[in-house]
Amino acid sequence: MKLHLKVWRQRDADDRGHMATYDVDDASPDMSFLELLDVLNEKLTVEGEEPVAFDHDCREGICGACSMVIDGQPHGPEKATTTCQLHMRHFSDGDTITVEPFRAGAFPVVKDLVVDRGAFDRIIAAGGYVSAPTGSAPDAHAVPVPKDQADRAFTAAACIGCGACVAACPNGSGSLFLGAKITHLGEMPQGQPERNSRVLAMVDEHDAAGFGGCTNTGECAVACPKEIPLDVISQLNRDYLAARRARRRSA
Amino acid sequence: MTTYSDFTVGDPAADRAAPDGPIETRWERRRFGVKLVNPANKRKMHVIVVGTGLAGGSASATLAELGYRVSSFCYQDSPRRAHSIAAQGGINAAKNYRNDGDSVYRLFYDTVKGGDFRARESNVHRLAEISRQIIDQCVAQGVPFAREYGGLLDNRSFGGAQVSRTFYARGQTGQQLLLGAYQALERQVDAGGVTMYPRHEMLELIVVDGHARGIVARDLVTGETRSHLADAVVLASGGYGNVFFLSTNAKGCNVTASWRAHRKGALFANPCFTQIHPTCIPVSGDHQSKLTLMSESLRNDGRVWVPARKGDDRDPNLIPEAERDYFLERQYPAFGNLVPRDIASRAAKNVCDEGRGVGPGGLGVFLDFAEVIGRLGRPAVEAKYGNLFQMYQRITGEDPYQVPMRIYPAVHYTMGGLWVDYDLQSTIPGLFVVGEANFSDHGANRLGASALMQGLADGYFVLPSTIGDYLATSGHDPVDPDHPAVLAAEQDVAHRIDTLLSIKGTRTVDSFHRELGHLMWEHCGMERTEAGLRKALDRIPELRKEFWENVLVPGTGVELNQSLERAGRVGDFFELAELMCLDALHRNESCGGHFRAESQTPDGEAARDDENFSYAAAWEFTGRGEAPVLHKEDLAFEYVAPTQRSYK
């Protein structure tokens, strides 16, 4: 396959950046999108140009490192698919493909297609955990968990923290990411003692990090490669209101 | 200068931390024996942890909970992305919730046998004991394990065992366990106990007066290299499967942290013990950058077969039962499709060598779910394996509900690693090694669902106890940042980076890496011969020489430079590759994942040679390309008598 690529190039955080055009003449339909970029980078390197920087690691759709917008969509056109699992058979010979980094106020560009998603770690650090110091656990069967609750928790916990939801959102909101963790831990009995304090601290951190608010556009759930359902945001809102009420009562 | 393969044999490697007496109480006695650190003093002690996977993440979190000051490093942009996240199938634990005859002793027995009698009994028994606490710990963190309708935990079976002891979270168990550890880690970041250094790569170990006292790390965004000093260093930097270029590891996985420590005096044990996983998606072309695993749990219900007749290229659904060869079920009736990984991989290679392989190049066998879909219905199969089927379809464009999957073995895990004693301390005092980076528990072959168990056992429970003994007794003064050893380490790093950038040759880093990987797969892969290994030992130094003369690394050292990162890693893989081949050459026996064609039983199974090789081979570095020194640690089997493994 012959492909024309328009790729965002930006030297560092301070650079204005620009789109650069490259051709790849020997793409194969069995390649992943990242393997296409590998081929491009080998070519650029040999030609004395700087290869395109992009984040990637596991290349099997689970680490959440890849962070590019392909033809205007985070992770590209295939539903429920990360960039590393997107294969060139979904494109046609002669296509022009546009590749940009995930863009959001809370995700500053580091270089080319690489962005800084450290804000997600800070949201988790603010409260996205159960306080269970090593060694303090009762027997695993001490607390049964109804299967439907465990399943819903799992569905939410499948989030890979890639940030596609933020890149897709017109407000740059991290609500789907945040709601996924709230729903995961909120469904588990182990998550109950800290349920209120968790949601308040995580929402505060989310807002402080520069993510926008949710206006129920729903783009996030469409872009999510792990199909985290939109209702985790309803859960987030509900838990947040309940926690605010509880705080007022105790104040 | 001596020829590399003319190695010498030095003093035996001795595990001085290992307790003796009844095996059931060794860990308890060791824990009682370790010196404790006063809580007030823990705050003054600083531990560096390199790597944030299951072992490193759990260790950092637990050490900080205990009160130590921790600095945690990872090359990824977030600790949550460490490659433990990709483990699919599950985690073993001797809970015996199924009442099917499991016990700590049986898990111990299965693991020693599964490792083909090349692991330490004491370590394996400890692992089996701790397995139960791990499940408790993870459940307490809110890990959403699979559950039954009664609300209790579900289990599945895995290769090498006849009991159901594997706990799982759909096909994403590693992800869920890692997120548990990551969340515990982030909780400590928030509490101030852990300072996190993401996008940082360790490039050198700092050894002062014989003790590990810090690392030199490069900030991958700014390119700044600087030293970080501490009272002890923990390596949790994973395995070295990427020496083969194509493996199921993440692209960034590398041996650099371990290799730098090896060059500074830490012995490297059993480097040739690599695991080739039987169920991976076959290679599709020259552009291939990595291989994707299909969880071993699929072998619970999938049946492995090839056409009985050579050259039968009919649509698999049109090949009648009688003309199929379910070769695992035929050769190993007792374990069938659930034989251990090394055996399943070699059996697949053999049928492909006979010309009965399927798919492009004949390098594949079928993994067929038609029978279970017929028996349980598609929804039940979807609930169990849905995400794996989706992943397969995404990569291959084929629907495994309709046509059998095609699979082929691929490099997946490395049992070898830095040599550690029972306390997980390397031969450099103050340097501890946990998880896949060490060599300790899996012998010559790891059983499925045991890597997660070992990583978490080391990080949550073993290291946090044993490191206290070292810290309580070593009594260090702070290291002067201008100490000659610190400056020398910084200069070494700067020199290596400058060298790589100044060569300005004509070949890319990846082209060298691919060629090295191909060489290793060919000669040090699923089957090894003396002739092949000698050929590799001739070729690797030539290729390495060319690398250091002709590699092309664009860009500078003071920016995000991914080519430079890869170049440094490949430089270390070259040296490791040579040691792996030497280790494979010297071990003139077959055991576990190490199959020497010269050493097989009449029916083609691995023939161990306990008389000559019942030891762990711990190698000492003497210089690049220089003959290393072999230190043998003899293995004693007091509880599980070594036998020819049989899964028939």
Which of B170, B190, B514 would you mutate first to test chain A, the one with the most A CBs within 10 A? B190
pLDDT digits (tens, 9 = 90+) for B581-590: 999 999 999 9
pLDDT digits (tens, 9 = 90+) for B578-611: 999 999 999 999 999 999 999 999 888 889 999 9
CB B304 within 8 A of CB B344: yes
Mean pLDDT along residues A184-210: 98
pTM of this prediction exceeds 0.90: yes
Residue of chain B whose alpha carbon sits nearest to that of A36: B287
Nearest to B509 by CA among A125, A134, A51: A51
Whether B525 and B610 share a structural domain? yes
Mean pLDDT along residues A182-187: 98
Q: Any CB–CB contact under 8 A between A61 and chain B?
A: yes
Whichever domain contains A205, its CATH number is: 1.10.1060.10
Give B-chain residues touching A150 at CB under 8 angstroms: 144-147, 151
Whether B402 and B505 share a structural domain? no
Q: Quote the CA–CA distance of B106 and A116 in Å, as a whole number.
A: 47
Q: How many CA atoms lie within 13 A of B502 on its CB side?
A: 6
Per-residue pLDDT, B391: 87
Last residue of a domain, one of B346, B381, B411: B411
Q: Quote the CA–CA distance of B520 and B536 in Å, as a whole number.
A: 7
Whichever domain contains A16, its CATH number is: 3.10.20.30
Whether A16 and A53 share a structural domain? yes
Whether A105 and A166 share a structural domain? no
Q: Quote the CA–CA distance of B434 and A81 in Å, as a whole number.
A: 33
Q: Any CB–CB contact under 8 A between A71 and chain B?
A: no
Nearest to B108 by CA among B459, B465, B450, B338: B450
φ and ψ at residue B633, rounded to 5 degrees:
-110, 110
Answer yes or no: do A125 and B187 touch at CB < 8 A.
Answer: yes
Q: Alpha-carbon torsion B586, B17, B459, B227, what sign? A: negative
- Domain contains B50: no
What whole-number percentage of chain A has pLDDT above 90?
A: 99
φ and ψ at residue B643, rounded to 5 degrees:
-135, 165
Q: Any CB–CB contact under 8 A between A53 and chain B?
A: yes
Total count of domains within chain B: 2
Answer yes or no: do A158 and B175 touch at CB < 8 A.
Answer: yes
Residue pointed to by tokens 């009995």: A189
pLDDT digits (tens, 9 = 90+) for B18-53: 999 999 999 999 999 999 999 999 999 999 999 999
Whether A125 and A177 share a structural domain? yes
Is the pLDDT at B234 greater than 60? The verdict is yes
Last residue of a domain, one of B411, B443, B471: B411
Whether A239 and A125 share a structural domain? yes
Q: Quote the CA–CA distance of A7 and A90 in Å, as a whole number.
A: 19
Whether A16 and A75 share a structural domain? yes
B120, B213, B218, B341: which is the annotated catalytic residue?
B341
- Domain contains B284: yes
- Residue B460 is given by DSSP the state I
The pair of structure tokens assigned to B614 is: 């019942």
A75-89, B15-29, B171-185, B284-298: segment of lowest average pLDDT: B284-298
Is the pLDDT at A182 greater than 70? The verdict is yes
- Domain contains B548: yes
- Burial of B192 (C-beta count, 10 Å sphere; 0-12/13-18/19+): exposed
Alpha-carbon B109 to chain mean position: 21
Domain residues for the domain of B521 are 484-615
pLDDT digits (tens, 9 = 90+) for B79-112: 999 999 999 889 999 999 999 999 999 999 999 9
Last residue of a domain, one of B370, B391, B411: B411
Answer yes or no: do A124 and B182 touch at CB < 8 A.
Answer: yes
Q: Quote the CA–CA distance of A65 and B336 in Å, as a whole number.
A: 38
Question: Which residue of B176, B508, B562 is in closest CB contact with A157?
Answer: B176
Answer yes or no: do A12 and B464 touch at CB < 8 A.
Answer: no
Is the pLDDT at B260 greater than 70? The verdict is yes
Is the pLDDT at B644 greater than 90? The verdict is no
CB B87 within 8 A of CB B164: no
- Domain contains A102: yes
Q: How many CA atoms lie within 13 A of B164 on its CB side?
A: 10
CB B519 within 8 A of CB B547: no
- Domain contains B211: no
The pair of structure tokens assigned to A37 is: 């970029």
Answer yes or no: do A57 and B76 touch at CB < 8 A.
Answer: yes
CB B549 within 8 A of CB B503: yes
Answer yes or no: do B153 and A140 touch at CB < 8 A.
Answer: yes
Question: Which residue of A53, A58, A140 is in closest CB contact with B139?
Answer: A140
pLDDT range class, residue B2, cuts 50, 70, 90: low
The Cα of B540 is separated from the nearest Cα of chain A by a number of Å equal to 23
The pair of structure tokens assigned to B629 is: 């020194």
- Burial of B534 (C-beta count, 10 Å sphere; 0-12/13-18/19+): middle
Amino acid identity at B103: S
Total count of domains within chain A: 2
Q: Alpha-carbon torsion B618, B619, B620, B621, what sign? A: negative
Mean pLDDT along residues B175-187: 98
Give B-chain residues touching A31 at CB under 8 angstroms: 285, 287
Answer yes or no: do A128 and B186 touch at CB < 8 A.
Answer: yes
- Domain contains B477: no
Q: Any CB–CB contact under 8 A between A124 and chain B?
A: yes
Mean pLDDT along residues B391-407: 94
Give A-chain residues touching B464 at CB under 8 angstroms: 134
- Domain contains A135: no
DSSP letters for B210-275: TEEEEEEEEETTT--EEEEE-SEEEE-----GGGGSSSSS-TT--SHHHHHHHHTT--EE-TT-EE
Answer yes or no: do A145 and B198 touch at CB < 8 A.
Answer: no
Q: Quote the CA–CA distance of B82 and B77 in Å, as a whole number.
A: 10
pLDDT digits (tens, 9 = 90+) for A19-67: 999 999 999 999 999 999 999 999 999 999 999 999 999 999 999 999 9
Answer yes or no: do B251 and A63 touch at CB < 8 A.
Answer: no
What residues have CB less than 8 Å from B530, skipping those under 6 apart?
B585, B588, B596, B598
What whole-number percentage of chain B has pLDDT above 70?
A: 100
Q: Quote the CA–CA distance of A199 and A197 in Å, as a whole number.
A: 6
Which of B52, B165, B186 would you mutate first to test chain A, the one with the most A CBs within 10 A? B186
Q: Any CB–CB contact under 8 A between A185 and chain B?
A: yes
Q: Quote the CA–CA distance of B214 and B408 in Å, as a whole number.
A: 42
What residues have CB less than 8 Å from B209, skipping those under 6 apart?
none
pLDDT range class, residue B160, cuts 50, 70, 90: confident
pLDDT digits (tens, 9 = 90+) for B49-67: 999 999 999 999 999 999 9
Q: Alpha-carbon torsion B45, B49, B52, B53, what sign? A: negative
- Domain contains A138: no
Question: Which residue of B148, B464, B552 is in closest CB contact with A147?
Answer: B148
Q: Alpha-carbon torsion B220, B44, B261, B237, what sign? A: negative
Is the pLDDT at B645 greater than 90? The verdict is no
For chain B, what is the mean pLDDT?
96
Helix/strand/coil for A251: coil
Per-residue pLDDT, B27: 98
Is the pLDDT at B276 greater than 80? The verdict is yes
Question: Which residue of A63, A117, A191 is in closest CB contact with B142?
Answer: A191
- Domain contains B64: no
Mean pLDDT along residues B218-246: 98
Give B-chain residues touching A35 at CB under 8 angstroms: 287-289
- Domain contains A137: no
Whether B497 and B400 share a structural domain? no
Active site residue B69: no
Is the pLDDT at B647 greater than 90? The verdict is no
pLDDT range class, residue B360, cuts 50, 70, 90: confident
Answer yes or no: do A57 and B250 touch at CB < 8 A.
Answer: yes
Mean pLDDT along residues A80-84: 96
Whichever domain contains B595, its CATH number is: 1.20.58.100
Q: Quote the CA–CA distance of B472 and B432 in Å, as a whole number.
A: 15
CB B83 within 8 A of CB B236: no
Q: Quote the CA–CA distance of B137 and B133 in Å, as a whole number.
A: 6
Whether A152 and A87 share a structural domain? no
CB B184 within 8 A of CB B79: no
Give A-chain residues touching B187 at CB under 8 angstroms: 125, 129, 131
pLDDT range class, residue B295, cuts 50, 70, 90: confident
Mean pLDDT along residues B494-523: 98
pLDDT range class, residue B522, cuts 50, 70, 90: very high
Q: What is the 3-state secondary structure (H, E, C) of B338-370?
A: HCCHHHHHHHHHHHHHCCCCCCHHHCCEEEECH
Q: How many CA atoms lie within 13 A of B352 on its CB side?
A: 24
Q: Quote the CA–CA distance of B623 and B629 in Å, as a whole number.
A: 11
Per-residue pLDDT, B3: 86
Residue pointed to by tokens 């959403």: B144
Residue pointed to by tokens 């959001």: A104
Cα separations (Å) of A11 from A14, A17, A38, B126?
8, 7, 19, 51
CB B627 within 8 A of CB B2: yes
Whether A52 and A150 share a structural domain? no
Answer yes or no: do A57 and B176 touch at CB < 8 A.
Answer: no
Whether A97 and A193 share a structural domain? no
Residues 142-161 of A with CB under 8 A from B: 143-147, 150-151, 153-154, 157-158, 160-161
Q: Give the H or E element holding residue A250.
A: helix A231-250
Instruction: Say how many CB pairs under 8 Å bridge A and B.
Output: 221
Give A-chain residues touching B78 at CB under 8 angstroms: 64, 117-118, 120-121, 161
ipTM: 0.98
Cα separations (Å) of B455 from A133, A248, B127?
17, 44, 10
Cα separations (Å) of B575 from A4, B542, B557, B582?
39, 12, 23, 11
- Domain contains A207: yes
CB atoms within 10 A of CB A73: 17
- Domain contains B574: yes
Residue of chain A whose alpha carbon sits nearest to that of B178: A63
Whether B499 and B585 share a structural domain? yes
Whether B284 and B405 share a structural domain? yes
Nearest to B157 by CA among B298, B54, B326: B298
DSSP letters for B278-316: EEEPPP-STT-----B--GGGGGT-EEEEESSTT--S-G
Whichever domain contains B377, its CATH number is: 3.90.700.10
Exposure class string for B453-484: b at 16+ Cβ within 10 A, else e: bbbbbbbbbbbbbbbbbbbbeeebeebeeebe
Domain residues for the domain of A157 are 117-130+143-250
Cα separations (Å) of B261 from A163, B158, B216, B285, B338?
36, 35, 12, 36, 37
Whether A75 and A168 share a structural domain? no
Helix/strand/coil for B619: strand
CB A130 within 8 A of CB B141: yes
pLDDT range class, residue A86, cuts 50, 70, 90: very high
pLDDT digits (tens, 9 = 90+) for B298-330: 998 999 999 999 999 999 999 999 999 999 999
Helix/strand/coil for B618: strand
Q: Quote the CA–CA distance of B58 and B218 in Å, as a whole number.
A: 23
E strand residue ranges, A29-124: 68-70, 73-74, 96-101, 109-111, 114-115
Answer yes or no: do B135 and A39 touch at CB < 8 A.
Answer: no
Q: Any CB–CB contact under 8 A between A42 and chain B?
A: yes
The pair of structure tokens assigned to B554 is: 């664009």
- Domain contains B451: no
Give A-chain residues touching B292 at CB under 8 angstroms: 59-60
Amino acid identity at A97: I
Q: Quote the CA–CA distance of B168 and B166 in Å, as a whole number.
A: 6
Q: Is A212 left (phi over 0), alpha (psi -120 to 50) or beta?
A: beta
Whether A86 and A126 share a structural domain? no
Cα separation of the two ends of chain B: 49
pLDDT digits (tens, 9 = 90+) for B536-565: 999 999 999 999 999 999 999 999 999 999
Whether A67 and A163 share a structural domain? no
Residues 205-244 of A with CB under 8 A from B: none
Whether A102 and A155 share a structural domain? no
